[in-house]
Amino acid sequence: MSFSGRETRAVRASALNKPFSLSLLALAVHALVWPAFAQAAGNSDSEAASAQQDMVVDAASENDATDEQQDYAAKTTRAGTKMLLTPRDVPQSVSIITKQRMQDQDLQSLDDVLNNTTGIAAEQIDSERSQYYARGFQVTDFSYDDIPTAVGDAWNYGDAAEDTAIYDRIEVVRGATGLMTGAGDPGATINMVRKHADSKTFTGSLSASYGSWNKQRYVADVSGPLNETGSVRGRVVAGYQDQDSWLDRYHKSKKFFYGVVDADVTDNTTVSLGWDYQQNNTGNPTWGGLPTWYSNGVRTHYTRNTSTAADWARYAVESRKVFANVTHNWDNGWTFRFNGTHGEQTFNDKLLYPMGYPDISTGLMDSGFGSKDRGKRTLDSFDSYASGPYELFGRQHQLMAGVSYSRQHNATDSSDGPLTSEQLGAFRSNWNGDIIDPAWGDWYQNSDDVVRQKSAYTATRLSLADPLSLIVGARYTQYSTSGSSGEMRKNNITPYGGLVYDITESLSAYASYTSIFSPQTKRSESGAWLSPITGKNYETGLKADWMDGRVTTNFAIFRIEQDNVGEAIDNVFVNGSSEQAYRATKGAVSKGAEFEVNGAITDNLQLTFGATRFVARDSEGRYNSFMPQTQLKLFTRYRLPMLPELTLGGGVNWQNRVYKDATGPDGETQRLYQGSYPLVDLFVRYQINKQLAVQANVSNLFDREYYSYLSDSAVYGEPRNVSVSLSYSF
């Protein structure tokens, strides 16, 4: 049998990274594996304990591959293919944001992570909602331990506020990932990988921080054995956060709890059961932004603390997820996983939207629109697959095959409360939000829909020659929607192909292709679902790794062709409600290049640098022109050799000028520009002793004023802010 350098990497990854993950319904776990679970819990045989210890170390290698080195790079991933590969062997652009990177840059939420990820651009629609874009297209595919959840922007279920304290790493695959997600985004897919109970000794950390706008945060992360041998282990992550904001009257609190139990029920079988809970409560949230013009057409300029929120406005979001997983590893290198999750997210809000444009002299608006909304999103999802090596024609290859099913139920209701210009009063920078609670109308249904997706998928990685491998696969998807927005049924086969050629021991060239099939959660003005997005995704480039995978680089050239992409229609809403209406575009094409270097440049220097440039156009001109076509993102940490207790770091994010065509007070279309701007961050950490450390972070060091959203309304970006944290590890 012949092994190439790539095969050696794959075999080593397979041997040293025996995986375990999450999911399966608790009832099925209880019925199928509880007897073995109980036996393992009482087993004190030293030989068995030794075997189980090996499994725990191997499992942790995949989920926490960089914990000891504290690197920004991960050595292995299942992103993009579900086969355990090095990032260099995945024929697509992959960014992995590790636990260490999140700690250094103080990335506390998913929103923070995505704002600092190569190739991802964000716009903050108001105080509670953000949208994300990659390569010019909106990102709505978010996965939790490889189980996908479609996220729309019509209603806020708190997805962007997910706390990173419960995640080991976050993986971002840019480009279409239909092989893994079925109905997938053409821009990117975000996968959050949860932490696990992977320690046979009692260990953990406690942290507390205080920062600008009275922001205080407390997090505990504790794990350890639950029986004598450590074959059953538990982990708990809990936290509380309370803060004001640069916005007047704004106040938000967040609490979260995460618990997981991992058990080695046999030498080769691991079971995980867990619960994930998060609650956010916001007082005086904004809905939309500040008026862009006065009624006479003159541009406004408010102070950044100005808020459009009424003093009775509020927003509450609650999320509950139960998840489980069974993983079995055979001695021949094959792995079987069965995942399942049940999630429930609810929101309840009471919001004010000032309508029209204020008079430059009196400050009076045209009117106001109050909206009370409530919604619930329920997701049941299952995924099962097997992967492993096989031999053919004297060479070793890999195969992956699986099936998945998901059912997502979305239901929302609203009640309207109109306000007159006189009831709103004069809107100026010192507006205090003190207005009457409007006379609310009856509740009415916005939507009550069920989205189902059934899929079967397979892929194989063929070793064609010592330096050459080919990944080919396909996914068959049955997609259907039913409910208040009408019915839609679509079947689709999504092919995938990727070629990787080792130029040297450290450098590879790759090329990949996949088709795009993505049914949309966006609706037209009449309330009908837009037709699915269809198209093609091409990518080619170079990848390299050094220092045994501790540092990776990726250069990619891509082209994405799409039809029926949803684009927001200014000031048009679905059936007169508060839900944004969209139109289907024709022939949207994005092409460009990306570059990223990430990881340990030296033992003391960690660095991540990403550069992106693309051009996206449709039949009417530049597509999503409000998204930056050029971005540079840099962040570093450096541990001083002469004073190893001290670590310094920082970075800068820069984007080019963008624009948006919006309708002004005179009914004419005007072009609004947001100039290019950099945002500079700094951090310093001092290790007082082995257990205790103090860290300070500064964001937007030079207090740059910019818009994070600009249309007929405008939202200012976050001003300079500082935080200091104290952490204790044991």
- The domain spanning residue 465 has which CATH number? 2.40.170.20
**CA atoms within a 13 Å half-sphere pointing along the CA-CB vector of 170:** 28
Output the CA torsion sign for 421, 425, 431, 437. Answer: negative
- pTM over 0.85? The answer is yes
Beta-carbon count within 10 A of 619 CB? 10
Beta-carbon count within 10 A of 401 CB? 15
Residue ranges making up the domain that contains 310: 5-729
Contact of 695 with 684, CB cutoff 8 Å: yes
Quote the pLDDT of residue 181.
Answer: 66
Specify the number of domains making up the chain. 1
Dist. CA 188–CA 174, nearest whole Å: 4
**Mean pLDDT in each 10-residue stretch from start to end of the chain (730 residues)?**
45 38 33 36 38 34 45 90 91 95 95 96 92 90 78 70 92 84 74 94 97 98 96 98 97 97 96 96 96 95 95 96 95 94 95 94 92 94 94 94 92 94 90 93 92 92 95 90 82 91 96 83 76 86 93 96 78 74 83 96 96 92 92 97 96 97 91 96 97 98 96 95 97
Strands 677-687 and 669-674: unpaired
Quote the pLDDT of residue 645.
Answer: 96
Q: With CA atoms as reference, report the closest residue to 98 among 167, 43, 199.
A: 167
Return all residues near 695 (Cβ < 8 A) that are at least 6 apart.
Answer: 106, 683, 684, 685, 686, 724, 725, 727
Quote the pLDDT of residue 160.
Answer: 73
Quote the pLDDT of residue 151.
Answer: 63
Token code pair at residue 298: 């003159």
Dist. CA 108–CA 104, nearest whole Å: 11
Dist. CA 139–CA 132, nearest whole Å: 5
Residue ranges in 194-333 assigned as alpha helix (H): none
The separation between the first and the last C-alpha atoms of the chain, rounded to the nearest angstrom, is 47
Residue 243, CA distances (Å) to 189, 214, 281, 360 in order: 30, 5, 11, 33
Biggest CA-to-CA distance, the chain: 84
Q: With CA atoms as reference, report the closest residue to 341 among 389, 290, 274.
A: 274
Q: With CA atoms as reference, report the closest residue to 596 among 10, 9, 134, 62.
A: 134
CB under 8 A, 24+ apart: contacts of 54-58: 55/18, 55/264, 55/267, 55/268, 55/270, 55/329, 56/198, 56/199, 56/200, 56/230, 56/233, 56/264, 58/16, 58/17, 58/18
Token code pair at residue 324: 């489980």
Quote the pLDDT of residue 530.
Answer: 79
Dist. CA 707–CA 709, nearest whole Å: 5
| Residue 29, SS3 per DSSP | helix
